[in-house]
A = this chain, B = another copy of it.
Amino acid sequence: MKTINIGILGYGVVGVGVAKLLKQKKQLLESRTGAVLNLKTIADIDTTTKREVELGTTALVSDANLVINDPEIDIIVETIGGETIAREFILKALENKKHVVTANKALIAGYGNDLVKVARDNLVDLAFEASVGGCMPIIKSLRESLVANDIKSMSAILNGTCNYILTKISKDGSGFEDALKDAQELGYAEAEPSLDIDGFDTAHKLAILNSLAHGMEINLKDIYVEGIRNITPVDIKLAKEFGYTIKLLAIGKIHEDHVEARVHPTMIPASNPLSYVDKSMNAIAIDADATGQTMLYGHGAGMMPTASAVLSDIADIARNIISGIKRRVPILGYPEDNIKPVPILPMEELYTRYYFRFEAQDHPGVLAKISGILGENNISIKSVHQKGKKRNGKVPVVMISHTAKEAWVQKALKEISKTDSVAGRPVVIRIEDTYQE
């Protein structure tokens, strides 16, 4: 049986998970792939902390070059994270003609186009199933299963931390800060939680999905990103009364000559299966022209779910090596020459429906004033609700709009804020309720 040598760079949570699976599932992997997947070397600056893996003949070294430059190693797994040293190591590994498997979404989202070119020039594979949706086979689905489909839209819950926090606020009525603290205590959120809760992690993943879905260059910088810091129990409760759930969604839609790509808290109706995705679970709903609506659901993070995805990439590459081939499926699903830049719609140009909550002064004419400004800006209101009790002379007024343009909405809200009819900043949450099976 052919032996395929594997090296791991970075022996943290995911690295340990990958090592564990390679060791514990040795026999299963041999039985499935027909190859011995031998974990030859692991490199990490910390070679002393005891990890719960029986290393056996595997070397643990502090010098990454002992992996990157080892002529016997076929596949290198990068589980360091971040965009500096990980990038440098991956570039060197690709240049050394190693196949590379990574779970690093920030790196792929930020530098993927260049890395793909280097992999192409060196005739090796670069695989990143674990970078989006943890154990869910979303990359494989887009690259291989949906080949005969035009992907009309994707909406996805891609960050377990945010989804845990929103679920917590929704179920317990906790405030955002309490829910975040709870998530931190449970290990779902980092001490510095911005990457997750401000939506950046979700945007990284959306950039990758959009590229694979539409055969476009990876474009992170033009994605609109808004996190969940301003979501209050009040809005979640009101949303529920209207039959909606609030989720942090990554939304990608294709149009004639551009795509939509945006990350923000979104109100979705109960008819959308994403509304049932609770706690730290992730899900990706895809509307494609042949399949109709489909959804993948599962753990989007964590040691073993992530390691499972890394192993699926390793097995794919191993099966290629056994067959004597490489680069069987293009890295981004389309041959590099067919991948073009596709512009992302500027947010001001977006048309969607909106939920507004104003803290309105409780005196006559205020509603007429607000409605008037909205009307002058072409925003037509589907329903108006005075919800909750008067506090400090103000009453909460909720409006649900018909489809309107983001630019109109931002202009109208600025004008409304300048009047003395409302206090504070109005709450704006975009609505997606076009879900159809």
Which A residues are closer than 8 A to B by beta carbons?
17, 21, 25, 28-29, 31-34, 129, 134-137, 140-141, 144-150, 215, 273, 276-277, 279, 281, 288-299, 302, 304-305, 307-309, 311-312, 315-316, 319-320, 323-325, 328-330, 333-335, 338, 437
Contact = CB atoms under 8 A, between A and B. Distances in A.
Given A148-B312, A148-B315, A323-B323, A304 B276 contact: no
A87 to B, nearest CB: 26
A294 B305 CA distance: 10
B299 A297 contact: no
B305 A290 contact: yes
Given A28-B150, A148-B25, A298 B293 contact: yes
B311 A148 contact: yes
Nearest to A291: B135
Given A148-B28, A290-B307, A297 B273 contact: yes
Nearest to A17: B290
Contacts of A312: 144-148
Given A148-B315, A291-B299, A296-B296, 8 more contacts: A32-B147, A34-B335, A147-B315, A148-B308, A290-B308, A291-B304, A293-B299, A299-B437
A316 B140 CA distance: 12
B316 A144 contact: yes
A146 B292 contact: no
Q: How many copies does the complex hold?
A: 2
A279 B308 CA distance: 32
A140 B305 CA distance: 17
A188 to B, nearest CB: 13
B335 A31 contact: yes
A183 to B, nearest CB: 16
Given A135-B291, A144-B312, A276 B276 contact: yes
A255 to B, nearest CB: 17
A40 to B, nearest CB: 18
A149 B312 CA distance: 10
**A contact patch SS:** mixed
Contacts of A140: 137, 140-141, 144-145
A387 to B, nearest CB: 27
A332 to B, nearest CB: 10
A288 to B, nearest CB: 7
23 contacts: A17-B290, A21-B148, A25-B149, A29-B148, A31-B334, A32-B215, A33-B147, A34-B335, A134-B291, A136-B294, A137-B140, A137-B141, A140-B145, A145-B308, A147-B311, A281-B437, A290-B305, A291-B305, A292-B299, A293-B298, A295-B298, A297-B297, A325-B325
A141 B328 CA distance: 18
A384 B305 CA distance: 41
Contacts of A150: 25, 28
B137 A145 contact: yes
Contacts of A141: 137, 140
A297 B298 contact: no
A137 B135 contact: no
A294 B291 contact: no
Contacts of A281: 437
Contacts of A308: 145-146, 148-149, 288, 290-291
Contacts of A328: 319-320, 323, 328
A75 B316 CA distance: 23
B290 A298 contact: no
Nearest to A282: B294
Contacts of A311: 147-148, 290
